[in-house]
Amino acid sequence: MPDDLARSLAVTEMDDGLAFSGEIDCDSVRVLGPMLDPLPGDAAEVRLDLAAVTFIDSSGLRLLIQAHQRAETSGRSLVLERPSPSVARLLDISGLRDHLIIRDDFVDG
């Protein structure tokens, strides 16, 4: 994890993806953006574990949508795993559950 990453967010590399812990806001998005562009790994399915995300705002949501688009464009898929209540709430409010790939059940890869 870069040293200058926002204090409130931690990123852990995992198989075919990343696990976020903390808050995804406009500050952390500035650092997270390059980590998701290009998408990590070369697997067909890129996983983002959001179980430990305590807060996400509209800029974080925008980051996820852009990563989703990038995956579709490159023939891959972005899976949002185990969205935390905060993430799930924002996904519900924004009506994105039908437009993003969300997996509530965690499968250890």
Q: With binding defined as CB under 8 A, does residue 98 bind another protein?
A: yes
Question: Closer CB to another protein, residue 10 or residue 55?
Answer: 55
Of 7, 12, 62, 109, the one binding another protein (CB under 8 A) is: 62
DSSP secondary structure letters along the chain: --TTS-TTEEEEEETTEEEEEEEESHHHHHHHHHHTSSPSSS-SEEEEEEEEEEEE-HHHHHHHHHHHHHHHHTT-EEEEES--HHHHHHHHHHT-TTTSEEE-S----
Q: Which residues in 42-61 contact another protein (CB under 8 A)?
A: 55, 57-59, 61
Instruction: Examine residue 75 and tell whether it contacts another protein (CB under 8 A).
Output: no
# residues near another protein by CB under 8 A: 16
Nearest distance, CB of residue 65 and another protein, angstroms: 6
